[in-house]
């Protein structure tokens, strides 16, 4: 590991395990003995290095996650998942959870410093959901436990501050006043579905509804209703 990247180590460890298994088959090693050897090999090659593979500087899972190296993350997940204790601990999913919360906290920081507005904040949240949903699907195979961990990570950072609810209402108001103009129904539905994605995460739904009603009243007064159907949907 000191001489290779984390991905190189995963590739070599996977090949080594496969070669050893082939050798045991060729030698007709008894199944009980083969299992003992397999467990020992996994303990030495995988379990002993699992944590380091996550945190390894410049090439560990945390780095792959930031760089969205899907195939390399998937190979690491496949290898580590062969060890039941690592799979039960959701080592890689927990690392992803920490990164989601870190990304989210950074967005809130930008919002509080006024370097981004409510609309950009929600747009960035949507980019995050798309990014991590792809990772969930292509790296973790949509595994239920990982799906739940990812959901909880979004809920945790979005509900640290009630601003997420009011930002979502402002984002929706911006859609209703400007963005939906001249769009076809599938495009409108996609944008409204994005609102629902974030809405499901937030706990302060009352704040969203109250702020949304205030925006709606202003749109009615200013005759800025672009789509009655969209308003009804929301």
Quickly list DSSP for 16-58: HHHHHHHHHHHTT--HHHHHHHHHHHHHHHTGGGHHHHHH-TT
pLDDT at 91: 92
The number of beta carbons lying within 10 Å of the beta carbon of residue 188 is 18
At 56-88, the pLDDT tens digits run 999 999 999 999 999 999 999 999 999 988 888
Dihedral over alpha carbons 115, 96, 172, 216 (to 10 degrees):
-100
Give the DSSP letter string of 217-231: HHHHHTT--S-HHHH
pLDDT at 198 over 60: yes
Query: pTM (2 decimals)?
Result: 0.86
pLDDT at 2 over 90: no
| Highest mean predicted confidence (pLDDT) among 30-39, 114-123, 133-142, 211-220 | 133-142
Name the residue among 111, 168, 103 with its Cα closest to residue 129: 103
pLDDT at 95: 95
Chain mean pLDDT for the chain: 89
Over pLDDT 70: what percentage of the chain? 92
pLDDT at 126 over 70: yes
CA 195/CA 151 separation, integer angstroms: 16
């Amino acid at each position: 590991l000191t001489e290779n990247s984390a991905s190189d180590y995963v590739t070599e460890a996977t090949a080594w395990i496969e070669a050893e298994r082939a050798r045991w088959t060729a030698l007709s090693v008894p199944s009980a003995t083969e299992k003992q050897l397999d467990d020992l090999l996994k303990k030495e090659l995988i379990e002993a290095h699992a944590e380091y593979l996550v945190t390894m500087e410049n090439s560990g899972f945390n780095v792959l996650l930031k760089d969205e190296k899907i195939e390399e993350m998937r190979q690491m997940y496949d290898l580590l998942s062969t060890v039941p204790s690592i799979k039960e601990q959701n080592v890689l999913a927990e690392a992803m959870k920490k990164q989601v919360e870190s990304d989210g906290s950074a967005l809130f920081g930008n919002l509080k410093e006024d370097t981004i507005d409510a609309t950009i904040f929600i747009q960035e949240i949507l980019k995050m959901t798309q990014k991590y949903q792809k990772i969930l699907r292509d790296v973790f195979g949509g595994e239920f436990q990982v799906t739940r961990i990812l959901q909880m990570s979004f809920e945790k950072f979005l509900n640290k501050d009630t601003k997420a609810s009011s930002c979502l209402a402002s984002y929706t108001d911006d859609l209703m006043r400007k963005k939906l103009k001249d769009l076809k129904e599938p495009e409108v539905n996609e944008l409204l579905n994005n609102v629902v994605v974030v809405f499901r995460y937030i706990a302060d739904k009352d704040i969203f509804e109250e702020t949304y009603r205030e925006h709606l009243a202003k749109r009615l007064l200013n005759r800025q209703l672009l789509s009655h159907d969209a308003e009804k949907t929301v």
